Amino acid sequence: MTTSSSGRSVWSWIPTLYFAQGLPYVIVMTLSVILYKDLGISNTDITFYTSWLYLPFVIKPLWAPLVDMTGKKRGWIVAMELVIGALFAAVALTIPVSDFFRWSLAMFWLLAFAAATHDISVDGFYMLALEKHQQAAYVGFRSLFYRCAMLTGQGGLVWLAGHSASLSGSVEKGWMLVFGLLAAGFLMMALWHQFGLPKPVSDQPQRHGEHWWQSFAAVFALYLRKPQFGLAVAFMLLYRFGEAQLVKVAPLFLKDSIANGGLALSTEQVGLIYGMAGMAALTTGGIAGGAAISRWGLKACLWPMAIAINLPHLVYVYLAWMQPQHAGIIGISVAIEQFGYGFGFAAYLLYLMMFSDGEHKTAHYAICTGFMALSMMIPGLFSGWLQTQLGYTGFFLWICIAALATFIVCAMIRIDPQFGKKETPQNPA
């Protein structure tokens, strides 16, 4: 069945809806880092200020009830896409001004809040517009189009910025073109969704009652009383401790000059190598990780995945030490690290699902995603400063040492041996 509960084909709106969900996130979290490096901002400032942009995703569960109460999910989606389009245009206009860093950062801050609100609306709408069996059937496709957005944002658009800059001779014009196209694209997306999204009868403002904050507090209190709560939070915050620092610095390293210890790649090369090849490897690793857990279960896969998410960090030690100039060597190295991250991250996601299981599963998983965003935000705040103190080689060696945090939390948590393992049908006696 390819039609939603309201009769519209799901293929007319799922691809665009989840592409629109993923694109603002990758622009705010990844493309902004490369933009600021291109425009001469220091590594310390880039990582510190762009890491704060995770905050709206950390606290997103707090205002999700307000989105439920104050309008239809469909209306929120269209409104946020209009806001996001306008903010992309505003970023383009701030690039040539003298105080561009402050003004563009303010726009990115607003973009992060708009993107987080859009996330809430999209995921809620998906559950309203589709029957339960359809929700399960299309979850893989929504993930696919979200990944396509990531590939476009940190791959295609970064390449376009570099290519247009080389043609025009102006870095600023290259990035202005990219954000101008993003603005136009999101305004068109809003128009398409205004007329193309289904209108499920159940998409109505939800009445949580006068004491909805008390209900939220009760749900959160149950979350705090879950078994192994403290260890679970430690796992959520520290499993990616090394990767959370690396992810902010890696594109800066690729672009930095040879004299500064970097690889001196052009913006076009960063888009192709880190954005496209890296994202393809990350996606492939995630698929392989999911398949492995489905076969052997989370408990059996945890340690191999913890190693997989950390051991490939050694490729960055090699790159910083040798500073190879061959794009193929750099591309393979980046792909190896990203594949390991994707493979190892599957264990993290499954653990969040396991910990959230039980009463108020959806709300508890939303709280877990807040901790997931926090696990990226906190290490990112100091990663650029640490790199400037240690140099790139020293920083990447520190990232390898930071794997100890991952191994410690993996050793302390308890996991059901059967969780995540695909059930095999029993032959009748």
How much is the mean pLDDT over the chain? 89
* Least trusted range by pLDDT, from 60-64, 77-81, 147-151, 321-325: 60-64
Q: What is the pLDDT of residue 5?
A: 53
User: 428 falls in which pLDDT band (50, 70, 90)?
Assistant: very low
Q: How far apart are the first and last CA of the chain?
A: 36
Q: What is the pLDDT of residue 166?
A: 93
CATH architecture for segment(s) 8-199? Up-down Bundle (1.20)
| pTM exceeds 0.75 for this model | yes
Where are the domains positioned within the chain? 8-199, 213-420
- What SS3 class is residue 261? coil
Residue of higher predicted confidence among 416 and 47: 47
pLDDT in tens, 297-356: 889 999 999 999 999 999 999 999 999 999 999 999 999 999 999 999 989 988 988 888
Q: What is the pLDDT of residue 225?
A: 87
Position 360 pLDDT exceeds 80? no
Position 391 pLDDT exceeds 90? yes
User: 155 falls in which pLDDT band (50, 70, 90)?
Assistant: very high
Q: What is the distance between the alpha carbons of residues 310 and 11, in angstroms, rounded to a whole number?
A: 38
Q: What is the pLDDT of residue 303?
A: 96
User: 74 falls in which pLDDT band (50, 70, 90)?
Assistant: confident
Q: What is the distance between the alpha carbons of residues 106 and 102, in angstroms, rounded to a whole number?
A: 6
Q: What is the distance between the alpha carbons of residues 246 and 125, in angstroms, rounded to a whole number?
A: 34
Q: What is the pLDDT of residue 219?
A: 79
User: 64 falls in which pLDDT band (50, 70, 90)?
Assistant: confident
| DSSP-assigned letters across all residues of 127-195 | HHHS-HHHHHHTHHHHHHHHHHHHHIIIIIHHHHHHHHHHHHT-HHHHHHHHHHHHHHHHHHHHHHHHH
* Least trusted range by pLDDT, from 5-14, 192-201, 293-302: 5-14
- CA-CA distances (angstroms) from residue 97 to 50, 108, 371, 421? 20, 16, 36, 55
Q: What is the pLDDT of residue 234?
A: 96
Residue of higher predicted confidence among 208 and 348: 348
- The arithmetic mean of pLDDT across residues 122-126, rounded, is 80
Q: What is the pLDDT of residue 427?
A: 47
Residue from 193, 181, 153 nearest 88 by CA: 181
Name the DSSP class of 53. G
Asked if domains 8-199 and 213-420 share a fold, the reply is yes
Q: What is the pLDDT of residue 7?
A: 55
The sign one gets for the Cα dihedral 43, 44, 49, 53 is positive
Position 211 pLDDT exceeds 90? no
User: 39 falls in which pLDDT band (50, 70, 90)?
Assistant: very high
Q: What is the pLDDT of residue 270?
A: 94
Task: Report the CATH number of the 213-420 domain.
Answer: 1.20.1250.20
Contacts of 299 (CB under 8 A, 6+ apart): 415, 416, 417, 419
User: 212 falls in which pLDDT band (50, 70, 90)?
Assistant: low
